[in-house]
A and B are shown apart, each in its own frame.
Chain A
């Protein structure tokens, strides 16, 4: 398996522009998570889905952020309009509830976003 795939790996955009980050989870996984990591705030959980349904979006910082999961193999995180303080590394992770209680998430390589 190729693991969790994220695109783009790097994104540089100007303030006010729309940014869309993409994630393809590992096939068969029914949980998908979006995280943001900065030096100041560490690794923050933004939102997670179970079977394509958003379960907890309490970590989404504000209305400028939105996430969708139209099917089991694709999710997007959109920021509109983007601001310099959104600059961070955004990670996507997936896992499967499976039959036992395993809390192993598989993280993608991340998207480094820079908003100027």
Chain B
């Protein structure tokens, strides 16, 4: 079971780029890195996933170096509505063992 470690919280201003780094030193060969976002009183929502290098979608980018021991979620030009908890998790192929960590509370202020 890959254990992930993230900062507890991060603060940012509107319009800035937010980068959240997650470490997963014992990631397995078949693990995918996945990020979720959770707003208060709602269930988590999938943001992005990747295996290696860089993945980009309309919401965020995910950077995974060659050794895959860490990954960075990049949120470009954040707005107040990006205030949420962000979870990084490593999921083994075919939904093996996985767990949500404590997450990173991102607070965006004007």
Contact = CB atoms under 8 A, between A and B. Distances in A.
Given A43-B87, A45-B99, A101-B93, A109 B43 contact: yes
Contact of A103 (B49, B87, B100): B49
B75 to A, nearest CB: 18
B13 interface: no
A103 B103 contact: no
Interface residues of A, number: 24
Majority DSSP secondary structure for residues of B touching A: loop
A25 B103 CA distance: 25
Contacts of A102: 49
Contacts of B45: 107
B13 to A, nearest CB: 27
A48 B93 contact: no
Contacts of B44: 43, 91, 105, 107
Given A43-B87, A48-B95, A50-B95, A104 B46 contact: yes
Most buried by A among B95, B97, B100: B95
6 contacts: A35-B100, A43-B87, A44-B99, A107-B43, A108-B43, A110-B41
Interface of A: 4, 31, 35, 42-45, 48, 50, 55-56, 91, 93, 97, 101-110
Return the 3 tightest CB-CB contacts between A and B, nearest first. A107-B43, A104-B46, A43-B100
